[in-house]
């Protein structure tokens, strides 16, 4: 079942890269008492994700913060080392928290997985964005296959 507006995010643990290496971060740690602009995409270093999706959130980070967003988080079904390398390649610094959903547990729990097997990618995340306040989904924007419109930073900014 796909998550919807008004639902609480499921318990899950991501991996992120800290100063001492890989470290876990739970959904609760990420969202408790915070407003989070969370977006997900099919894969690090993929064309639309690298050329448009992630860069848009990096470029608009100050605007999100000015509207009360505490954290901008990027989720992908990739391992923590790939997410670290991609964040460095994209120069996101502290603007975007790169979250590895390596086994796709969060993606499956929110019902937003897709089958990327025909591209040799296996199970991945659909492209989407959501505003989460204190763990509850306030807005949810899921793209239709192959599109990049409603999950963009620009579209989401209008919803915050």
Q: Determine which helix (DSSP H) or strand (DSSP E) holds 21, and give its type and residue range.
A: strand 21-26
The 3-state DSSP class for residue 15 equals: strand
- Alpha-carbon gap, residue 29 to 152, rounded angstroms: 25
Choose the catalytic residue: 3, 41, 44, 49: 49
74 annotated active-site: no
- Alpha-carbon gap, residue 113 to 46, rounded angstroms: 17
Longest CA pairwise span in the chain (Å): 41
Where do we find the tokens 């100063």? Answer: 19
Residues serving a catalytic function are: 49
């Amino acid at each position: 079942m796909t998550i919807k507006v008004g639902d609480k995010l499921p318990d899950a643990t991501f991996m992120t890269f800290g100063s001492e290496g890989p470290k876990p971060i739970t959904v609760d740690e990420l969202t408790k008492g915070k407003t989070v602009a969370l977006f997900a995409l099919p894969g690090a270093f993929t064309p639309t994700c690298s050329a448009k999706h992630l860069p848009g959130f990096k470029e608009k980070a100050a605007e999100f913060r000015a509207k009360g967003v505490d954290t901008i988080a990027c989720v992908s079904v990739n391992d923590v080392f790939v997410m670290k390398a991609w964040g460095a390649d994209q120069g996101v610094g502290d603007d975007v928290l790169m979250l590895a959903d390596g086994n796709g547990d969060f993606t499956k729990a929110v019902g937003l997985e897709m089958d990327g097997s025909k591209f040799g990618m296996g199970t991945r995340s659909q492209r989407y964005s959501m505003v989460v306040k204190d763990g509850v989904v306030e807005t949810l924007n899921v793209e239709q296959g192959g599109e990049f419109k409603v999950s963009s930073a620009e579209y989401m900014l209008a919803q915050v």
